[in-house]
Amino acid sequence: MSGVRLLDLLFPYLAAILGLVLGGFYRACVNRYLGGDSPAGPGPGCPHCGRPLTASETASRFGRLLQRGRCRSCGGRLPSAGPAIETVSALWALGLALEYGPGPAWLVYMTLGGIFIVASFIDLTEFILPDALTYPAVVLALAGRIFLLGEPASGPLIGAASGPLFFWLLAAAYRRVRDAEGLGLGDVKLMASIGALVGWRGLPLTIVLSSAAALFASPFFLRAHRDTRRAPIPFGPFLCLGAMLYVLYGHRLVGLAPR
């Protein structure tokens, strides 16, 4: 069996493991943002002795397993974080590996997907999409598709321009009719990176997928608020989900997914 063939067979498993490890890093980024900490600052402390915890103790699930979930200094048991982000990251990496195999496409989409995952979990908690994530995502999407994937610049550039324009007009119309904010500026900025990622031809299907996912999930948000007419529903995670589904399965639906 040739080395290339062996890599093709092993790559999905390797990608899933890497996605799981990266998911721990994504979770740490989300937790630090929600806690108001700088990524460059000291990590959270042990709840028993106060010693700042290392990355392997907070971000890496494998590191926690090796340490049996205990602090290196005092041996106290560390709180266990939920596996949702790691699971999503591993599934995303696996799906990309099965669809695209090893190569630049996997790298580009994996990078953008990582930003979308972090942004989505922040938006679900704080109803905000940080500029520190949305702006770099636009640059990475444009650079990845144009320079790494060698695609014509027209598709990503037009998508990056038309995506936020459409959502800005939609937000303005909603504000005029309902006299309330319906879509935040963070969603508009996010659409620039999504438009660059899927191209202008992929935007309609991406928005349809995002809207369907938001409609399906809306009862869970409405049930938590008494005034269902004013219940806040973060749309950013569903926009990211729609874009990620399009990257994985869009070509099977309409034959337009970026390759």
Higher pLDDT, 40 or 57: 57
98, pLDDT greater than 80: yes
Q: Examine the pLDDT at 38 and tell me if it is beyond 50.
A: no
pLDDT above 70 (res 101):
yes
Rounded to an integer, what distance in angstroms lies between the CA atom of residue 89 and that of residue 158? 29
Residue pLDDT, tens place only, 164-197: 888 777 777 666 655 555 567 788 899 999 999 9
- Judged against a pLDDT cut of 70, whether residue 145 lies above it is answered with yes
Report which of 32, 51, 50, 46 is spatially closest to residue 78, judged by C-alpha positions. 46
Least confident of 27-41, 60-74, 117-131, 132-146: 60-74
pLDDT digits (tens, 9 = 90+) for 20-36: 999 988 988 888 887 76
Q: What is the pLDDT of residue 243?
A: 96
| Structure confidence at residue 137 (pLDDT) | 96
pLDDT over threshold 80, residue 125: yes
**pLDDT (average), residues 200-209:** 89
Cα 96 to its chain centre, rounded Å, is 14
Entry pTM: 0.81
Read off φ and ψ for residue 193, nearest 5 degrees. Answer: -70, -35
* Nearest to 186, CA basis, from 164, 208, 157, 217: 164
Instruction: Output the pLDDT for position 40.
Output: 41
